[in-house]
Amino acid sequence: MALKTGDEYLRSIKALDLKAHMLGKNTSDLDQHGLVTPSRRAVAYTFDAAHDPETRDLFCVESPLCKDVVNRFSHLHQGPEDLVSKVRMQRLCGTGTACCFQRCVGMDAANAIYSTTYECDGKHGTPYHSRFKDYWAWVQQQDLVVDGAMTDPKGDRGKRPKEQVDPDLFLRVSERRPEGVVISGAKLHQTGMLNSHEILVMPTLTMRPGEETWAVCCAVPTDAKGVRYIYGRQASDTRKLETHTMDVGNPRFGGQEVMTVFEDVFVPHERVFLNGEVDFSGIMVERFAAYHRQSYGGCKVGVGDALIGATALIARMNGVEKATHIKEKIVEMIHLNETLYACGIACSATGEATPSGNYLVNMLLANVCKLNVTRFPYEMARLATDVAGGLLGTMPSAADLEDPVTGPYIRKYLAGAPDVDVVDRMKVLRLMENMVAGAGAVGYLIESMHGAGPPAAQRIMIGRQADLEGKMARVKQMLDIA
Three-class DSSP labels, the chain? CCCCCHHHHHHHHHHHCCCEEECCEEECCHHHCCCCHHHHHHHHHHHHCCCCCCCHHHHEEEECCCCEEEEHHHCCCCCHHHHHHHHHHHHHHHHHHCCCCCCHHHHHHHHHHHHHHHHHHHHHCCCHHHHHHHHHHHHHHHCCCEEEECCCCCCCCCCCHHHCCCHHHCCEEEEEECCEEEEEEEEEEEECHHHCCEEEECCCCCCCCCCHHHCEEEEEECCCCCEEEEECCCCCHHHHHCCCHHHHCCCCCCCCEEEEEEEEEEEEHHHEEEECCHHHHHHHHHHHHHHHHHHHHHHHHHHHHHHHHHHHHHHHHCCCCCCHHHHHHHHHHHHHHHHHHHHHHHHHHCCEECCCCCEECCHHHHHHHHHHHCCHHHHHHHHHHHHHCCHHHHCCCHHHHHCCCHHHHHHHHCCCCCCCCHHHHHHHHHHHHHHHCCCHHHHHHHHHHHCCCCHHHHHHHHHHHCCHHHHHHHHHHHCCCC
| Residue among 300 and 316 whose Cβ is closer to ligand SF4 | 300
295 binds, among ligand SF4, Fe ion, none (CB under 5 to 8 A by kind): ligand SF4
Whose Cβ is closer to ligand SF4: residue 75's or residue 316's? 75
Residue closer to Fe ion by CB (options 161, 451) is: 451
Between 149 and 188, how does the x/- string for binding to Fe ion read (CB under 5 A)? Answer: ----------------------------------------
Binder of residue 215, out of Fe ion, ligand SF4, none (CB less than 5 to 8 A by kind): none
Residues in contact with Fe ion, counted by CB under 5 A, come to a total of: 1
Tell me which stretch binds Fe ion (CB under 5 A): 84-92, 412-420, 448-456, 473-481. Answer: 448-456
Q: Which is nearer to ligand SF4, 214 or 296 (CB)?
A: 296
Nearer to ligand SF4 by Cβ, of 295 and 367: the residue is 295
Query: Of the two residues 75 and 131, which places its CB atom closer to ligand SF4 in the complex?
Result: 75
Q: In the complex, what is the shortest distance from the CB of residue 377 to ligand SF4, in angstroms, rounded to a whole number?
A: 11
**Residues noted as catalytic:** 100, 104, 191, 257, 292, 296, 299, 447
Contact region with Fe ion (CB under 5 A), list: 205-213, 366-374, 411-419, 447-455 = 447-455
> What's the min distance (Å) between Cβ of 304 and ligand SF4?
12
User: What does 434 interact with, of ligand SF4, Fe ion, none (CB < 5 to 8 A by kind)?
Assistant: none
Binding site for ligand SF4 (CB under 6 A): 100-102, 104-105, 191, 295-296, 299, 447, 451
104 binds, among Fe ion, ligand SF4, none (CB under 5 to 8 A by kind): ligand SF4
Answer for the pair 191, 33: CB distance below 8 angstroms, yes or no. no
- What does 299 bind: Fe ion, ligand SF4, none (CB cut-off 5 to 8 Å by kind)? ligand SF4
Please, what is the minimum distance in Å from the beta carbon of residue 476 to ligand SF4? 41
Instruction: Report in angstroms how near the CB of residue 39 gets to ligand SF4 at its nearest.
Output: 10
List residues bridging with 221 in a β-sheet. 198
Q: Do 352 and 279 contact (CB within 8 A), yes or no?
A: no
Residue 294 C-beta: closest distance to ligand SF4, Å: 9
CB of 105 or CB of 218, closer to ligand SF4 = 105
Candidate residues 6, 185, 276, 451; the one interacting with Fe ion per rule CB under 5 A: 451
Q: Which does 73 bind (CB under 5 to 8 A by kind): Fe ion, ligand SF4, none?
A: none
Among residues 382, 433, 443, 94, which one has the least CA distance to residue 239?
Answer: 433
Least Cβ distance, residue 285 to ligand SF4 (angstroms): 16
Q: Which stretch binds Fe ion (CB under 5 A): 332-340, 342-350, 410-418, 450-458?
A: 450-458
Which one of Fe ion, ligand SF4, none is in contact with 388 (Cβ closer than 5 to 8 A by kind)?
Answer: none
**Cβ atoms of 438 and 235 closer than 8 Å:** yes
Rounded to the nearest whole angstrom, what is the least distance from the CB of residue 257 to Fe ion in the complex? 9
Binding site for Fe ion (CB under 5 A): 451
